[in-house]
Amino acid sequence: MKDSTHQLLLNAEETLNAAEVLLNEGYLRDAVNRAYYAVFYIAEALLNEKDLRFKKHGMVHASFAQHYVKTGIFDAKYHKMLVKAFGRRMLGDYDEVVRFKSDEVKETITEAWDFLQAAKSYLAAQA
């Protein structure tokens, strides 16, 4: 595994830990933001192993689907989760009246932890 990939996975784990702290303190919008970025870092880490780097979120989403979901390496649920987390993040960041339920945020965080574990397992098997 590349050092930069390893760092992206560490960033994802740290960001997920921050999301949990924010959730526990009741900062649901911020927790959604952090949970999305954790998922984004995981997707970036996987793409980084294929020497694919992008500046736009949509390109990361599409490339993850192309290189990891359509090829059968990862279940489509991970791409759906990435897109759903992005949608929640956008609402939280730009819709001043949106209010998340604690269960929604917990779901995003739990799914992100699952994705992180799946990515780590996959990358370890590639070594």
Whether pTM > 0.85 for this model: the answer is yes
| CA dihedral of 78, 82, 87, 90, whole degrees rounded to 10 | 160
CB 83 within 8 A of CB 63: no
Tokens of 53: 């780097």
User: For 8-40, how does the pLDDT look when each residue is reduced to its tens digit (9 = 90+)?
Assistant: 999 999 999 999 999 999 999 999 999 999 999
For residues 1 and 21, give the distance between their C-alpha atoms in angstroms, rounded to a whole number. 29
Query: Domains of the chain by range and CATH?
Result: 3-126 (1.20.120.330)
Q: State whether the Cα torsion 23-29-32-33 is positive or negative.
A: negative
Complete DSSP assignment for 82-106:
HHHHHHHHHHHHH-TT----HHHHH
pLDDT reported for residue 127: 79
Average pLDDT for 107-120: 97
User: For 54-82, how does the pLDDT look when each residue is reduced to its tens digit (9 = 90+)?
Assistant: 999 999 999 999 999 999 999 999 999 99
pLDDT reported for residue 126: 92
Q: What percent of the chain has pLDDT over 70?
A: 100
Q: Which amino acid is at 118?
A: A
Q: Which residue has the tokens 């996959």?
A: 122
